[in-house]
Amino acid sequence: MGRACVLLFYLMTALISVLIRLRLLIAQTYSVGVLTFLIVVVSGFFIGMVLGLQGYTTLSDFGAESALGQIVGTSLVRELGPVMAALLFAGRAGSALTAEIGLMKATEQLSGMEMMAVDPIKRIIAPRFWAGFISMPILALLLSAAGVLGGYLIGVEILGVDNGIFWARMQATIDFKSDLLNGIIKSVVFGFVVTWIAVFEGYDTIPTSEGVGQATTRTVVYSAFAILGLDFIMTALMFGDF
């Protein structure tokens, strides 16, 4: 934990040099984003369809099918968008980051860079960290958008909820500040924590093949715990009536 905090401190101070070498940051954001984009969109679509089905079945017991847009929209924007996107991100991009950095360490690439008087934290770790940080909120929004489409497909196109009512209820109940903004805050926090865990586990890897394997597993497990735990805490703070 102490070493993770030291690394975080270096990552923060490296922000300026990352911004100076914008090309590295853009390249990393692109590769992190591309890794996760398709998974996020496809998963979001399925999640939305499940929400549409389950929501419709439950709501129709009360004759409240018209509230489907609201259910789908709020659950995605508040919860499922940020949480699912972060879990997928940890599984796909986070583990890949850890493995990549861990392997670079195991094959002496990081040491080699240091001997060439290049700081690997600035050159390798920091651009990846900040790229993950930037990508996460975008991925969460994409997941929510794909989910809304999935919910629309099931609810309106297949189960026959009124098109206008579906969208109107969604618009009326999703509040910019309390829903959208809170959802974005969540995904920013998740992005920060997941990429931090991923780059730290990579940088701290025992430089052997087992070491890299173990570090990759740890990234996924710790990230999942962190995401779900933090989600509860943030939900309680944002939406709880204490």
Partner 1 sequence: MSHASKDAIVSVENMSFSHGPRTIFDRVNISITRGNITAIMGPSGTGKTTLLKLIGGQLRPQSGQVTVDQQVVHQLHRRHLFELRKRMGMLFQSGALLTDLSVFDNVAFPMREHTQLSESMIRALVLMKLDAVGLRGAHPLMPSQLSGGMARRVALARAIALDPKIMMYDEPFAGQDPISMGVLLKLIQVLNNALNLTSIIVTHDIKEAFTIADEVYLISEGKVIEHGPPDDIQNSSSKWVQQFIQGHYDGPVPFHYPANDYQTDLYG
Binding site for partner 1 (CB under 8 A): 104, 107-109, 111-119, 123
Query: Cα–Cα distance between 103 and 69 in angstroms, integer?
Result: 46
Residues 6+ apart with CB under 8 A from 123: 24, 113
CB of 104 to partner 1, least distance (A): 8
Closest CB to partner 1 among residues 57, 111: 111
CB of 136 to partner 1, least distance (A): 23
CB of 98 to partner 1, least distance (A): 16
Q: With CA atoms as reference, report the closest residue to 221 among 98, 80, 55, 45.
A: 98
CB of 199 to partner 1, least distance (A): 16
Query: Cα–Cα distance between 157 and 159 in angstroms, integer?
Result: 6
Closest CB to partner 1 among residues 64, 113: 113
Closest CB to partner 1 among residues 27, 221: 27
Q: 168: part of which helix (H) or strand (E)?
A: helix 163-173
What's the sign of the alpha-carbon dihedral 192, 105, 120, 127? negative
Query: Cα–Cα distance between 200 and 11 in angstroms, integer?
Result: 10
Dig out the tokens for 52 from the structure: 């549409």
Closest CB to partner 1 among residues 20, 158: 20
CB of 103 to partner 1, least distance (A): 8
Q: Is 147 exposed, middle or buried (0-12, 13-18, 19+ CB in 10 A)?
A: buried
Closest CB to partner 1 among residues 112, 213: 112
